[in-house]
Chains A and B, each alone.
Chain A
C-alpha cells in the first residue's frame, strides 16, 4: 500500500523489549547481592533477607494482578499454603522443605486454579473479583485456626536440628546461606517473570488484560490464559511462604493467611511499579529498610518522642502514607516513573 497513515503527531515509539538487557541486569544484581554477606552486619543482613521475601511475594502478585490485570486481595492464601504445606510435611513427616516447597507450589497453583476458575466462570470483575480472592484467603485463615490437622491457632515451630543443613534449609542464625537462598529464589522468580513475559503465555496474558474481547476474537483462549497466569502467580508467592517459615522458624494462621500478608504482596509492587519487571523488587528494597528504620525508632525513640518506646504500628503507618502518596502522585510507581522519564529523553 502506498500511502502511510497521515498524522501530524508522531507517537512515542515503544522500545523493543530489551529482554537480554533485563536478564543481564538480573545477573549483575545477583552477583552483587551475593557478595553482601561480606560487608553487611547480621542485623542488616536480616533486613536484606526481609527485602527478598517481600520481593518474592510481590513478584508473584505482579504476575496475576499487574501483567494479568486481575486484582488479587488474597495472595495470603498462596503464601499461607506454601508455608503450611512445607511445614506440615517437615514437622509431621520429616520431609525436606525443598520438597515441601515444590509441594506447596503445586498445592497453591491448584487452589488458585480452583478459585480462579470459580471467580472467572461467574465473571467476577473489579471489586467483586478482589473481594472474592480476599474471602477465600480469609476462609483458609479461619479453617487453619480451627483445624486440629494444623495445630489450630498455635501453628508450628520448625524443629531445630542443631547443625547446619542445606537439605533442610537450616543454618546458624544470621548465616550467609539464608541470604543466598533467598537471593537465588528471588532471582529465579525474576527470570521466570522475564521468560513468562516474552513467552506466548505472557503475550497472551497482556493481550487479554488490555482487551479481552479482542484477544478472544483473535483466537486466544481467554480462560486458559488467565488460569495459567493465576497458577504461576500463586506458585511464586507460595515459595515466599515456604522460605518465610524456614527463616523465621515459625508460622501460625495469622502470619500465614492474615490479610496483612495480602497487603504485603501488593505494597512493594504498587510502590515500585505495577506491571513492570523491576517494580516489585524496587518497592521491596524501599519498604524493607523503612521497616527497619521505624523499628529502630520505636525501640530507641529520639528525645521528645519517648512515649513511642515499645509501641507498635509506626512501620505500617509509614507504609500507608507512602502507599497513599504513591497512588496519588506516582501511579506508575517509582520504577515506572523513572522509566518513563528515561524514555522521554
Chain B
C-alpha cells in the first residue's frame, strides 16, 4: 500500500479547471517532485491534498485512510505536514515559539515541545534567530521557519511548496542536504513543488509534471527531462533555475 494515494482529484474555480483529474501515488520513504509552469495548479493540488480546500471530485488517502476534504488540522494529525509558498509565520511569536506551538499541536507537553523545537530550530539553521520575532525574519529565514514548523509536527508525509525559492544559491545546498537527511535518517516521505530544476533533479525519485491542471507526464527525473512535451511546456519557457 502506498503511503499517499491521490485518485482523480479535480478542482474548479469559477469555471476554470485548476486541477483536472490528477492521480498519483507516493511510496513510503520516497521523494516526489512536482514541476510545471506558473498557474499549472501545483499549489491548488497541495491545498486539496492537505485539506485546505476540498476537491470537487476524487479521493486522497494517507496510508489507506480517506482524508479527502478533511479539515486541515485533522489531516495534520493524520501525519501530513505542509509548508506554504507564501510564508505564513505567526508574526508576533519568536521563532522558537512558532516551532514549539507546532509540536504542542501534536500532543507534546509544553516543556517537551520547547525542547523539541530548539532541536528543530538548530537543525534547520535558525539558532541564531531563535528568539527573534518571526515577522522580522528575511525571506530565507521565513522559508526555513516554514520547514521547521512542519518538521516539529513530526509528519510522515511532508508537502513542501517551493521551499528553495527566494534563497541564494549558497543557501539552497544546506536545505537540500537537510531534505535528504530527513528521508534517509527520519524516514519522512517528501512531496515537493519546485521551480529550481537542479534541486528537482538531485532530490526526486520520481517527477510529476503538471500543465494546466493535468498530469502531462510522470517518471524518473531523467525520463521527464528528456520528454519533448515537458521541454516545450515548461523547460523551454524559462531557463532552469529561474524563479529564484
Question: Which residue numbers of A lie inside 8 Å of B, CB to CB?
Answer: 1-7, 9, 11-16, 198-200, 203-204, 206-207, 209-211, 213-222, 275
Pair A12/B133 contact, Cβ less than 8 Å: yes
Question: Which residue numbers of B lie inside 8 Å of A, CB to CB?
Answer: 50-52, 71-73, 76-77, 81-82, 84, 88-94, 97-98, 100-102, 104-106, 110, 123-129, 131-133, 136-138, 140-141, 144, 149-150, 152-153, 168, 170-171, 174-175, 177-178
Give A222 to B126 CA distance when docked, in angstroms: 27
Pair A220/B133 contact, Cβ less than 8 Å: no
Pair A5/B138 contact, Cβ less than 8 Å: yes
Give A105 to B177 CA distance when docked, in angstroms: 54
Contacting residues, chain B, for A13 (C-beta < 8 A): 94, 131-132
23 A-B residue pairs with Cβ-Cβ distance under 8 Å, sorted by A, are A1-B177, A2-B174, A3-B171, A4-B127, A5-B140, A5-B171, A7-B141, A11-B133, A14-B93, A14-B133, A15-B131, A207-B90, A207-B93, A213-B84, A213-B88, A214-B89, A215-B105, A217-B81, A218-B153, A219-B73, A219-B76, A219-B77, A220-B73
* Given contacts A4-B127, A5-B141, A12-B133, A222 and B73 within 8 Å (CB-CB): yes
Contacting residues, chain B, for A221 (C-beta < 8 A): 71, 73
Q: Which residue of chain A has its CB nearest to the CB of B79?
A: A219
* Given contacts A5-B125, A14-B133, A207 and B101 within 8 Å (CB-CB): yes
Pair A200/B104 contact, Cβ less than 8 Å: yes
Cβ-closest 3 pairs across A and B:
A11-B136, A219-B76, A214-B88
Pair B131/A219 contact, Cβ less than 8 Å: no
Interface of A is mostly: loop
Contacting residues, chain A, for B110 (C-beta < 8 A): 198-200, 203
Contacting residues, chain A, for B128 (C-beta < 8 A): 4-5
Contacting residues, chain B, for A210 (C-beta < 8 A): 89-93
Q: Nearest Cβ distance between residue B42 and chain A, in whole angstroms?
A: 16
Pair B52/A217 contact, Cβ less than 8 Å: yes
Pair A3/B170 contact, Cβ less than 8 Å: yes
